[in-house]
Amino acid sequence: MHLEPILFDIDVKLALASSSNPDEVEYYPSFSAPATSWETATPKKDAQFSKPSPEIFEAALEQAGSDPELTLVVGDTPYDILAAHRGALPVAAVQGGVPLRRCRGNCEEDRSNR
């Protein structure tokens, strides 16, 4: 089941906040929802710091004109989860990206060792 059509029908804004390059970010929405249903897609150039800094989420919220109190971050890496936590945003973790087991206690240390 794909949630995007349901969310689009009830006027939920979808925004992509990624630490990837702009050309990759343009490509990602084609995996799930029609590009027209995405309010915005923010690549790493829209933030000074990468996740786990919440800065990319803040940029996506600003570009989408969304209220942080009405936002849910869906993340597939420990860095997404930590960035959402630091930005005081509710978050749902989904499987994908970097396995959570790869962060052995301190995702920030693991990130710096990449």
- Domains of the chain plus CATH, in order, are 4-112 (3.40.50.1000)
Distance CA 93, CA 19 (A): 17
Tell me how far apart the alpha carbons of residues 42 and 45 are, in angstroms, rounded to a whole number.
Answer: 8
Give the residue-averaged pLDDT of 47-66. 92
Output phi, psi for 103, to 5 deg.
-90, 105
The predicted structure's pLDDT at residue 99 = 52
How much is the average pLDDT of 76-83?
91
Residue of 4, 62, 83 whose CA lies nearest to 38? 4
| CB count in 10 Å sphere of residue 55 | 21
- Strand-pairing partners, residue 73, are 91
**Tens digit of each residue's pLDDT (9 = 90 or more) over 17-37:** 888 888 887 777 666 655 456
